[in-house]
Amino acid sequence: MMIVLALLLAQAAADSALVARGERIFAQSCSVGYCHGVAGAAGRGPRLRGRSFAKDYLYSVVRDGIPSSAMPAWKDRLRDEDIRAVVEYVASLATAPEVAPPTNPMPPGVGPASQPIFNGPPQAARGHALFSDPVRDSCSTCHAVGGRGIAVGPDLTAPPAKNAPEMLSRIHATESRHVLTAALQSGERFPALLVSQTGDEVRLHDLTSAPPVLRTFARSQVISLAQNPAWRHDDFSKNYSAAELEDIVGYLRWAATGR
């Protein structure tokens, strides 16, 4: 009896660790940008908290995605053990207690709810809206200001640029030093930012998609990390007109200095 109890306790501890690991991966890769909400709440993606799914179905959806939808396949972005950890975490949300709604809830199918009234000057207000525009790949998919956005790229308010050409020049200088090409044993190559690496593990932000995906690899899976002079921020900044870029700079300056 004591042996059985010890085995059950060990299994429970292992399951708990797997769920905790899945929770971390979900927060880093799924509950970002305008995808699923925090802790499985509704976002632009559907609510997961308080819903029951078969684990085989969850595994299939996470691994292979859903065709003709915003749900991507993660089989080339996450290791299989990470996918299974996410599945265990999402499955655990079926009986999770309700949580208080976020300050800025995102109803399913609607996208971000209305934002609090912005009290800055007109140019900063326009830049504020452009910075996190959910319709296009906006600045907030890679940069965070005032608690909004994903802090993948550098802080754009430290210090704020005087104008749009200066802001883009700084970004280009930064990317030339930090954007890498990751080459994997599988043959995959992609532009990336290095998050961390140890003797056993490498963590990278995959810049192939927006928002960037945080991916974790065993060190043996990574052949090389080399500077990537071909990746250009212009591919994203071209989504804005010159006037819009100046409005964004106005917002960044206001966020940093209050004027």
20 and 39 part of one domain: yes
Distance CA 9, CA 213 (A): 35
For residues 151 and 238, membership in a common domain is answered with yes
Q: What is the pTM of this model?
A: 0.53
Q: Are residues 203 and 250 in the same domain?
A: no
What is each CA distance from 233 to 24, 75, 132, in whole angstroms?
Answer: 29, 27, 17
Judge if 135 and 91 occupy the same domain. Answer: no
* Residue 106 placed within a domain: no
Give bridge partners of residue 182 from the DSSP assignment: 190, 225
Domain assignment present for residue 108? The answer is no
136 and 214 in a common domain = no
Best CA proximity match to 245, nearest among 144, 162, 145, 148: 162
Question: What CATH number did the domain enclosing 68 receive?
Answer: 1.10.760.10
Do residues 152 and 212 lie in contact, with contact meaning Cβ atoms separated by under 8 Å? yes
245: nearest Cα among 143, 151, 166, 152? 166
Residue 116: asked if its preceding bond is cis (omega within 30°), the reply is no
For residue 249, the surrounding DSSP H or E stretch is helix 242-257
**Same-domain check for residues 61 and 153:** no
pLDDT digit string (tens) for 202-246? 988 888 766 677 778 888 999 999 988 777 776 667 778 889 989
d(CA 249, CA 161): 7
* The pLDDT value given to residue 92: 92
Neighbouring C-beta atoms of residue 201, cutoff 10 Å: 13
Residues 221, 165 share a domain: no
Token pair 């005087």: residue? 162
Count of domains in the chain? 3
> Which residues span the domain enclosing 167?
124-173+234-257
109 inside domain: no
Task: State pLDDT tens for residues 76-106.
Answer: 888 899 999 999 999 998 887 655 444 444 4
Report pLDDT for 29: 77
Query: Is residue 168 within 8 Å of 233, Cβ to Cβ?
Result: yes
Query: Is residue 111 in a domain?
Result: no
**Do 128 and 245 belong to one domain?**
yes
